[in-house]
Structures are given as C-alpha cells and as structure tokens.
C-alpha cells in the first residue's frame, strides 16, 4: 500500500501568532511569479511577500516608487497560483493608500484580484485610521516601520532608522499605535537590533525583521538578494554559496531562520 504524503496545514494568522507565542521563528521571502511561489511554499516558508521591490528587481527601476496597483495585482495573482500552504502578503504601492477610502479600494482589489491574504503598508501613526478601517472590513494588515522605501526621498537615502533617541521613541510609539489599530503583523526594516528586540517583546503580534537583528519573531529577505543575484547589503547573506540548486538555497535559508543561525550578529546594526 502506498503511503500518502503528509498533510501540511495552511498558514493562518492564528498559526503565526502561535509561532510567536511558542518561540518558533517565522521564515519569510519575497516572490513575484508562480514558479518561485511554489518553490518557496514547498521549502517551508511561512509568509511569501509580493513586494513592491519588484520595481527594482523585476522592472529595473532605481526605487519602488514607479510600481502601480496593477503591477502588484498582476504579480500577486501569479504567485498565488503556485502557493498552497504559505500565507500570501502583498504590498500596497506608493500613493495607493494616501486616504483611508482610497486604501480600502486598493486593498479590496489586491485581495480579490490579486488573491492576497494580507496587505502590507508603510507608515506610522498617520496610517492608523487606515489600518483600523481595513481591519474592520476584514482585511488583515501588516505594518512597516523603520526604513520605508516609499519614503526614500524624505529619509535622504537607504539609511538605518531609529539610532537617535527621538527617532527610536517615534518608531516605538508607531509600533504600538499600529498594533492597537489592528495590524496583525509588523515588519521592521534597518533598525538597531536593540530597538527591534524591545518592540518585538512589547507587542503581542508577530514582528518580522530585515536588517533588524535576531530577536524578531521572523526574518524576511528579497529573494534575489538571498540568491546572490540581487543587491548586496549588510543584512543579506548569499545562500547559494556552497549550494547545489536554488531550491536547496531556499531550504537552507528557511532552516537557518528557524534555527536562529540567521541573521548572525554581523547582519544587524547597533
């Protein structure tokens, strides 16, 4: 008698909360098409982000700003076709959520046409009303604090955020406000590891880091960076080195996150 393959439960928000509560690390990566969506899903990645980073790694722009809602819907729907188990999260692109009602329309399209299960938006307290509105309408939201690529011109470049007392206080406060507004997850990008650890321990929702140290509940990288064919940053690691295939590299990444081997100290900021 042939054996049936093991049943893999679909990842839900409740599952992610339970992982945080149990101290299990959450592995996240970006994807932009069905093939990589399937590979990440089978490798055990819990959250797949269709990021507006596609503007840089797929479209060749020098920032995420030119990416449109239609771009996000197209790539999100493609990834969805390859994913069975992982949770699919999709970015809301630049100026698509400037007002709460606009955000609701954008998120509804991303969820229905792009088949996402969660949307991610950048911003602090000023998006709290938007997060509250989307949450009340049944749309799960992930906040994004620290380095916010859509605000790159205001920030003056791709720089670590929260190093001085006032900016650290603001990020800390924004994290609390977003969680209170109903955000079900938070992404911290390029903030000091000590600040990320403090926020992670203070919030009941999962906190995912990129360049935010090892104390976050999970980690995310841009897929192409992790494969050594994208941008090289201090917080990235080339998992293709010493590997035999892309699939093996992705599996190594997922294991490294879960075992807390990655990120190491050198991948974070003081």
* Per-residue exposure over 141-157, b if at least 16 CB sit within 10 Å of its own CB, e if not: bbbbbbbbbbebeeeee
State residue 50's pLDDT score.
98
pLDDT higher than threshold 60 for residue 146: yes
State residue 219's pLDDT score.
98
Question: What are the tens digits of pLDDT across the range 63-106?
Answer: 999 999 999 999 999 999 999 999 999 999 999 999 999 999 99
Q: Which of 189, 198, 251, 266 is catalytic?
A: 189
Q: Determine the average pLDDT of the residues in 27-48.
A: 98
Cα separation, 205 vs 185, in Å, equals 5
Q: Determine the average pLDDT of the residues in 244-264.
A: 96
For the question of residue 101 being annotated catalytic, the response is no
pLDDT higher than threshold 90 for residue 152: no
Q: Determine the average pLDDT of the residues in 145-164.
A: 87
**Domain spans of the chain?**
13-265
The CATH class, in words, for 13-265 is: alpha beta
State residue 232's pLDDT score.
85
What pLDDT band is residue 8 in, cutting at 50, 70 and 90?
Answer: low
Residue 52, number of CB atoms within 10 A of its CB = 28
| Helix boundaries (H) for 99-185 | 100-112, 128-136, 152-155, 165-181
pLDDT higher than threshold 60 for residue 5: no
Q: How much is the pTM?
A: 0.94
Which of 124, 116, 163 lies closest to 143, judged by CA? Answer: 124
89 touches 50 (CB < 8 A): yes
Cα separation, 234 vs 254, in Å, equals 19
């Amino acid at each position: 008698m042939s054996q049936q393959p093991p049943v893999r439960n679909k990842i839900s928000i409740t599952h992610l909360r339970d992982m945080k509560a149990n101290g299990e690390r959450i592995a996240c990566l970006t994807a932009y098409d069905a093939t990589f969506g399937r590979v990440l899903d089978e490798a055990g990645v819990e959250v797949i982000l269709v990021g507006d980073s596609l503007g840089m790694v797929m479209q060749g722009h020098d920032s995420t700003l030119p990416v449109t809602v239609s771009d996000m819907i197209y790539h999100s729907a493609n990834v969805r076709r390859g994913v069975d188990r992982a949770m699919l999260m999709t970015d809301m692109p630049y100026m698509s959520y400037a007002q709460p009602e606009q955000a609701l329309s954008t998120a509804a399209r991303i969820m229905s046409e792009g088949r996402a299960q969660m949307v991610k938006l950048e911003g602090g307290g000023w998006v709290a009303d938007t997060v509250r509105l989307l949450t009340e309408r049944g749309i799960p939201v992930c906040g994004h604090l620290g380095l916010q690529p859509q605000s790159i011109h205001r920030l003056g470049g791709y720089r670590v955020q929260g190093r001085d007392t006032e900016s650290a206080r603001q990020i800390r406060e924004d994290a609390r406000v977003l969680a209170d507004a109903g955000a079900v997850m938070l992404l911290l990008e390029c903030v000091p590891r000590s600040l990320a650890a403090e926020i992670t321990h203070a919030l009941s929702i999962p906190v995912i880091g990129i360049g935010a140290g090892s104390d976050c509940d999970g980690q995310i990288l841009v897929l192409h960076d992790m494969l050594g064919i994208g941008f090289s940053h201090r917080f990235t690691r080339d998992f293709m080195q010493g590997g035999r295939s892309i699939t093996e590299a992705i599996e190594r990444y997922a294991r490294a996150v879960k075992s807390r081997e990655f990120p190491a100290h050198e991948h974070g900021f003081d």
